[in-house]
Chain A
């Protein structure tokens, strides 16, 4: 009985850790990729000076499009 309860708790904890990991990865994956006419590309990860303005704007656009 105790063993099965411990197994259930273990599985639930693992699932929580996994979900937190996935969520954290998704947040870290936030970035802005800019492509220029000459073929160059600039990738701005979340937290970089340019991205901190672009990512909130993009979030707002996505939120607005989901609402309408």
Chain B
């Protein structure tokens, strides 16, 4: 699915999400609900990098939620793509994460279809000529009454 379409579906489904952006590992914005998606993506990437520095050497960071008095910031990374979103204060955390993951999954690029050798076209099946109509059997005439 197109990233922009996925994000518009996301904001339609989840009323808690105020703004969202999807970007790749190089910081390229794939889709955004804001006109200034690049700045949002840059700040989100900076935040993710800062969060990764908190605990180094262990398992990689996959998602985070930062709750502030003005709202919350969510980040979810799946492969090369990351989705960042902002919500109002006190969101339903599990639900927001679920919606973000679903949106990110739908954005994932589809594998290229293999080029199939062009199959020769079958000629259209010849139509059967209509079966000749059987002449209607003559109806037995009623014999006039002898009366």
Contacts and interface: CB of A to CB of B under 8 A. Distances in A.
A and B associate: yes
A18 to B, nearest CB: 17
B24 interface: no
Contact of B50 (A26, A35, A40, A53): A53
A20 interface: no
Contacts of B73: 58, 61-62
Interface residues of B, number: 35
Given A58-B68, A59-B70, A68-B35, A36 B86 contact: no
Contact of B64 (A34, A38, A62): A34
B59 A59 contact: no
Nearest to B19: A65
A35 B37 CA distance: 25
A39 B126 CA distance: 64
B84 to A, nearest CB: 8
Interface string B86-121: 100100010000000000000000000000000000
Given A36-B55, A64-B43, A58 B61 contact: no
Given A37-B62, A58-B47, A64 B40 contact: yes
Contact of B65 (A33, A57, A59, A66): A33
Contact of A36 (B43, B58, B71): B58
Given A35-B61, A54-B66, A42 B19 contact: no
Interface string A25-53: 01101111111111010101000001001
14 contacts: A27-B69, A31-B66, A32-B65, A32-B67, A34-B54, A35-B63, A36-B55, A36-B61, A38-B58, A59-B70, A61-B73, A61-B86, A62-B73, A66-B18
Given A35-B61, A36-B60, A62-B71, 10 more contacts: A33-B64, A33-B67, A34-B61, A38-B59, A42-B54, A55-B66, A58-B72, A62-B68, A64-B36, A65-B34
Interface of A: 23, 26-27, 29-38, 40, 42, 44, 50, 53-55, 57-66, 68
